[in-house]
Structure 1
Amino acid sequence: MTETLYIHPETPQPRLIRQAVDVLRRGGLIAYPTDTTYALGCGIGEKAALDQLIRLRRLDKKHQFTLLCHDLSALATYAKIDNPDYRLLKAHTPGPYTFILQGTSEVPRRLMDPKKRTIGIRVPDHAICQALLAEHGEPIMTSTCHLPDDEFPLTDPQDVRDFLQGHVDLVIDGGFGGVTETTVISLCEGDGPHIVREGAGPVDSIF
């Protein structure tokens, strides 16, 4: 049975945030709103929840997963980065960007690109996300709530509840989401940023 929590998108209720984080800590899979689209998330080391997410989205082994982080303090733990790139991240977070970086040994192998050992890092500009991350105390493994047969990610919270009923442990209804995913920027090539996908984040200020 999938539980639903109605959380205010600008002033999240602390009691409900604690309930949502309890689901994450018990190894659950949740659907929640971000500053771009609705997303699916679970704890970093939760294999069963990750397997369920992979089945739900029909992801292949090459899929690039992302860690949703409260701020850039998690970088040293989960990713390797040079000073010029750090300045770029600092200037564009929080916001609708995902940065692809070399992962550290703290990142479970199954979350990283199998050959490049890379991981996505994202700092969202959304009150519910920030409250979840602050309460959880560590990053959340995240992936866009984009079902395999749909053209766009789920955006209506009613659709999120209907389509994911029985497939996730919790849906956080925080109002309507967007349909445009994050802009993805790779910082792994060693010669500056590379745009992998243009999305919600403007690219003019990247270069």
Structure 2
Amino acid sequence: MILRIYPQNPAEREIRRVVEALERDGVVVYPTDSVYAYGCSLRSARGLERLRQLSGKQTGELSIICDGISRAAEYCRVDNAAFKILKRNLPGAITFLLDASSRMPDKALQRRKTIGVRIPDNAIPRAIVEQLGCPLITASLKSDDDAEYMTDPELIHERYGREVALVVDGGYGSIVPTTVVDLTQEEPEIVRQGAAELN
């Protein structure tokens, strides 16, 4: 199923349909401020297993999507220095690596101590997380596909629609991944330069 949602003002009714799919252990494909991505509820062990299968990624390569810094601070350790960096750069196309807190489920970590955290500059995923009441676990669509199959929601649905609960059509996506910044050391370290500059 493909579901059109407008990023400027996501309709609550449509967001609710996405949340219901996630609450039934579903995996959805949704837009971010960089590439389209798979997502499942942080509370869903079955969803996480399915997301791993679909993305071909190990748990260590997955991130969480939050709707704000306060939600991120529930699941990760955010000290004053990290908070200032997050506040300057988010929402935006940056994944920050942070130490996980005890609220992060073990299944989502699998012996890791850190997790990637995103607050996209796109209202759709933030609205989904807000209604869901917990972060999304996320992995980008496979980058070995043709660019159109990663950016055009109709083609994404054609390719992945039978494998996921639904595809959210939020308009054309990008093929440029997020910038990845490690905040677990004394100084921030850019692990991958992507769509955004670190401020």
Q: Distance in 1 between matches of 2:183 and 2:85?
A: 10
User: Could you tell me how far 1:150 is from its partner in structure 2?
Assistant: 2.6
User: Aligned equivalents of 1:64 and 1:82: distance in 2?
Assistant: 23
Correspondence 1:170 to 2:166: yes
Q: How does 1:34-53 map to 2 (within 5 A)?
A: 34-53=32-51
Match of 1:197 among 168, 192, 196: 192
Question: Aligned match of 2:91 in 77, 90, 94?
Answer: 94
Q: Distance in 1 between matches of 2:49 and 2:25?
A: 11
- CA RMSD of the aligned region, Å? 1.7
1:137 aligns with 2:133: yes
Q: Is the 8 A contact 2:38 2:55 kept in 1?
A: no
2:85 and 2:161 mapped to 1: Cα distance?
A: 39
Contact in 2 for aligned 1:29/1:168 (Cα 8 Å)? yes
What do residues 126-167 of structure 1 show as CA deviations (whole Å, max 9, x unaligned)?
Answer: 1212221222222111111225x4375711112210111221
Specify the alignment match of 1:85 in structure 2: 82
The answer as to whether partners of 2:66 and 2:117 remain within 8 angstroms in 1 is yes
Q: Which residue of 2 aligns with 1:182?
A: 178
Q: Does 1:104 align with 2:101?
A: yes
Could you state the TM-score of these two structures normalised by the residue count of structure 1?
A: 0.89
CA offset at residue 81 of structure 1? 2.4
Unaligned runs of 5+ in 1: none
Q: Whose helix fraction is larger, Structure 1's or Structure 2's?
A: 2
Following the alignment from structure 1 to structure 2, what is the Cα–Cα distance between the partners of residues 27 and 57?
16
Which residue identity does 1:109 align to in structure 2? D
Could you list the per-position Cα deviations for residues 44-102 of structure 1 after superposition, in whole angstroms to 9, with x for gaps in the alignment?
021222111111121235x3321100100123321112211110111111111110011
Distance (Å, rounded) in 2 between the aligned partners of 1:114 and 1:199: 27
Q: SS in structure 2 opposite 1:100?
A: strand
SS at match of 1:160: helix
CA offsets 1:6-42 (integer angstroms, 9 cap, x no match): 1112122221111111111111100001111111101
Shift of 1:113: 6.2
Paired residues of 2:33 and 2:122 also in contact (CA < 8 A): yes
**Aligned residues with identical type, % of pairs:** 36
Cα distance between partner residues in 2 of 1:60 and 1:74: 24
Q: What is the alpha-carbon distance in structure 2 between the residues aligned to residue 130 and residue 79 of structure 1?
A: 17
Q: TM-score, structure 2 length as denominator?
A: 0.92
**Separation (CA, whole Å) in 1 of partners of 2:82 and 2:73:** 13
In structure 1, the residue corresponding to 2:50 is in which secondary structure? helix
Count of residues in Structure 1 that have an aligned counterpart in Structure 2: 198
CA contact (8 A) 2:55 2:139 kept: no
Task: Identify the match of residue 26 of structure 1 among 20, 24, 27.
Answer: 24
Partners of 2:74 and 2:7 in 1: CA distance? 29
Secondary structure class of the residue paired with 2:40? strand
SS state at 1:85 partner = helix
Alpha-carbon distance between aligned partners in 1 of 2:56 and 2:130, rounded to the nearest angstrom: 30
